[in-house]
Each structure stands twice: as structure tokens, then as C-alpha cells.
Amino acid sequence: MQTQAWDRFWQQKTPTNFFNWLVSLLKRIALIGVLFILIQLPPTAMSLIKNHPHLDVVSVSGLVIFVGLFLVIINWAYKLFKRYNTTSIKPSRPAQDFRTVIFGYVAIFVGQMVLGWLNAFLNHQTQTANNNAVAKLMNGNTLIMVAFSISTVLLTPFAEELIFRGVLTNLFFKPNQFWWKIILSGVVFSLGHASTTLISFLIYFYMGGVLAFVYQKTGKIKNAIMLHALNNLVAIIEMLSLLN
């Protein structure tokens, strides 16, 4: 277990135990670092076909790389999640899980609305830099628009929840360290979304925190995935309406 090295050091503070704990910590940080970098790669593949709005060798290759990267990331993250997961599943019925997802979405919606208003008022920023970058990439290229719209709802939630909730929260904290897991998840999740203002950072921190709360409260990563997918679905519909 990932916390055993720390437990041994805490019980018996010897140089060897401290060294083992430090090595274990650095390995876990490196693992998250690799996952953090990997999840940034699929959008890069899309940028390669920005000037290829029609089906050709370049655009098809870009789409294959885009989907392939997501599948590789999801597969590896899922294996890591199964290996490190220590969060116990709380018994609940499907109807209860559905309500949890809906309540989670309402919490995200209200929080984003308030923080979005503050961002516009204080920083004159009506959209976060991350959303602006996505909109710019999608604008004028139907292939990218379709690929991003589908992946935002069907691929991104799986990849990001497995990484930022499933792996991250279980890799650094014990099962009973509830709020530390939520805080860490929110911070790292926000760091991956290219915020340019403190308020925009808080928007993604808050969203990541709510997603982590839902996962930790229910013990079911699928609930966080469904909540993330629902939030992204609404967001992509809004973005497409603005682009059109």
C-alpha cells in the first residue's frame, strides 16, 4: 500500500525508513506527473489538423492519434486505479446514485455561475482561457468540432476522473483523509486547465473538488464520471451554440 512506507517511518523514525518513504513519495509524484502530461496530449493531436477541415491523410491520422491516445490513457489509468484504489464503495441504489449526480451538477453549476460572475467583474473575462482555447480550435473546422464534442462527453470524463479522482486521491492519502483528498484533487485538476486568473483557477478547483467529493462520498468512480460527462455535455452544447 502507498502509505505503508510513511507508517513505518512514523512508527520507527530511522534514516532507512525515511529514505524508503521519500523514494515512495517521489515515485508517486513522478507517476502523477506522467499522467498529467499524457492527458494534455490528445488536444495537441487535434491542433495538428487545424488546417485540414476535410477528410484527408493528415486529418484521418490526427483523429486516429487523438482517439488512440485517449484509449491508451484510459486503459493505463484504469489499471492504476484498480491497483491503488482503497476507497470503499458505499451501498446505494441506482436512484440514489442518480440523485447524487444531479445534486453534484447543481453544486457545480451554482459555483461556476458565481465564480464566473466574479471572473467577469474582476478580470473582464467572460470565459476561462481553457474554454477560449477549445473554442478557437473548434471554430472553422467541422472535423475538430465533431471529434471534440464527442470526446468531451465520452472520453474526457473517463480519462480525467480515473486520473484526478481514481488514481490521485488514492495514491497519496489514506481512506479516512477525506478532505485532503478533495483539496489535492481540486488543485491538480485546476493546474491542468490553463487558468490565467485566480478566479478561473478557483472555477476548476471547485469543479474538481465537487467531483472528488462525489467519488469519495459514494466510493463509486462511475458517479464522478457521469457527473463530469453531464457537466461537459451542457458546456459543449453551450459552446456549439455560441460558435454557430
Q: What is the DSSP string of 97-163?
A: HHHHHHHHHHHHHHHHHHHHHHHHHHH--SS-HHHHHHHHHHTT-HHHHHHHHHHHHHTHHHHHHII
Is residue 18 over pLDDT 80? Answer: no
Grid look-up 449526480 returns 101
The string of pLDDT tens digits covering residues 103-132 is: 999 999 999 999 999 999 998 888 887 888
The string of pLDDT tens digits covering residues 65-117 is: 999 999 999 999 999 999 999 998 999 899 999 999 999 999 999 999 999 99
Band (12; pLDDT cuts 50, 70, 90): low
Interaxial angle between packed helices 221-243 and 129-138, expressed in degrees from 0 to 180 and rounded to the nearest 10: 60
Is residue 10 over pLDDT 80? Answer: no
Q: How far apart are alpha carbons 237 and 232 in whole angstroms?
A: 8
Q: How far apart are alpha carbons 147 and 61 in whole angstroms?
A: 13
Contact predicate 214/101, CB 8 Å: yes
**pLDDT for the residue numbered 102:** 97
Q: How far apart are alpha carbons 39 and 28 in whole angstroms?
A: 17
Least confident of 12-21, 40-49, 127-136, 188-197: 12-21
Band (6; pLDDT cuts 50, 70, 90): very low
**pLDDT for the residue numbered 123:** 87
What are the cell numbers at 122?
A: 474582476
Q: Which residues contact 126 (CB under 8 A, 6 or more apart)?
A: 116, 119, 120
The string of pLDDT tens digits covering residues 179-237 is: 999 999 999 999 998 788 999 999 999 999 999 999 999 999 999 999 999 999 999 99
What are the cell numbers at 27?
A: 515515485
Buried b (16+ CB within 10 A) or exposed e, 205-226: bbbbbbbbbbbbbbebbebbbb
**pLDDT for the residue numbered 11:** 53
Q: How much is the average pLDDT of 4-20?
A: 61
Q: What is the CA 126 to chain-centroid distance, rounded?
A: 22
Is residue 154 over pLDDT 80? Answer: yes
Q: How far apart are alpha carbons 184 and 165 in whole angstroms?
A: 9
| Backbone dihedral angles phi then psi of residue 235, each to the nearest 5 degrees | -65, -40
Number of H helices, E strands in the chain: 12, 0
Q: Report domain extents, the chain.
A: 4-242
